Amino acid sequence: QNARLISDLSLLDLYLKMTSGKTHETKTYVLLFLMVLLGSVGNTILGKGMKDAGDLDISRLSSLEAGAVHVLTSGTIWVGIALMLLFMVCHMLVLSWADYSFVMPFSAIAYALVPLFGYLFLHEQVSAARWTGIALIFLGVLLINRTPPRTSSGTIQPGAAS
């Protein structure tokens, strides 16, 4: 019985450590970075798969069906979709831990990574104006990062006025 009590206290201690403010903030940042990476890589791989599929003709039903079969049988496209699904799971989790007004601007860093990945892996040309925009996005994310991830007290009560 004492061993069970010690085990329960150990689990409680672990739970309290995992839900402490500092650990909670660390989890939030880890998931934010994972979310940005999964979204950026997923979009890049999905883009590669769609480029490999070529222009899809939607003018006739037979062409549309052939294009759908080609897209749905592409392993590259499915890897992109899987990564985007993992992105969505991370996105949902991090939205439960941090303010929407923090998560969404922070996630904008993906808009900077996608052109970088497009340039590096898909050999796309990125203009100076786009690189300037990317630099501004990074500056914005740095400003957002100087604020706390959560300013609200927790969950919103059903029926509460916004």
Q: What is the pLDDT of residues 104-155, one digit of tens each?
A: 888 888 888 888 888 898 888 989 998 898 888 888 888 887 877 777 765 5
Mean pLDDT across the stretch 30-36?
Answer: 92
Is the pTM here over 0.75, yes or no? Answer: no
Q: What is the pLDDT of residues 75-93, one digit of tens each?
A: 999 999 999 999 999 999 9
Q: What count of residues does the chain have?
A: 162
Specify the amino acid at residue 91.
H
- The token duo for 42 is 């997923």
Residue linked to tokens 């037979």: 62
Contact between residue 76 and residue 48 where contact means Cβ atoms under 8 Å apart: yes
